[in-house]
Amino acid sequence: MREISSGVFEGGTAQVSAPAWSDASLDPRYWWVDTGPWRDRFGFDWLAIASSDNALCRACAQLYLDRKYVDLKDARNAQIIDALIATGQPAANPLFPGAGPMTAAKKAAILNTQTTEYERHIKGLPQPQ
């Protein structure tokens, strides 16, 4: 098939390429995750947060209860995790092995790991490469 202009071929068929994670103009909805997968990203730390008596942990858990989705690129989420790091929360809890305290490495994994179709609030977006 002969290309008649960039990405357009004879017969009017356009070549559609998959989006790339590295593309600065990637649709921001790729970073919107449902609240269940948001909590899953914390692993046992979320259980330690949810069961904590610490005021910051209680506020953190409460903050996401009524949301439909969480925007991983919203700076407020990074600020909340930074507050957990600064205060050494959630405290280690023997009921949840590996939980607490929050670290910069955990923060990076929570906020920067590429999303999957299962996690995303908007379903049906083509999976970036």
Cis, bond preceding 101 (omega within 30 deg of 0): yes
Domain holding 47, by residue range, is 27-111
Question: Is 93 part of a structural domain of the chain?
Answer: yes
Type of residue at 10: E
Task: Summarize pLDDT for 32-63 with one digit per residue, the tens.
Answer: 999 999 999 999 999 999 999 999 999 999 99
Question: Is 1 part of a structural domain of the chain?
Answer: no
**Domain count along the chain:** 1
Question: Is 19 part of a structural domain of the chain?
Answer: no
Token couple for 5: 């202009």
Question: Is 9 part of a structural domain of the chain?
Answer: no
Binned average pLDDT, 10 residues per bin, the chain of 129 residues: 58 70 94 98 97 97 94 98 98 94 98 97 94
Question: Is 13 part of a structural domain of the chain?
Answer: no
pTM: 0.84
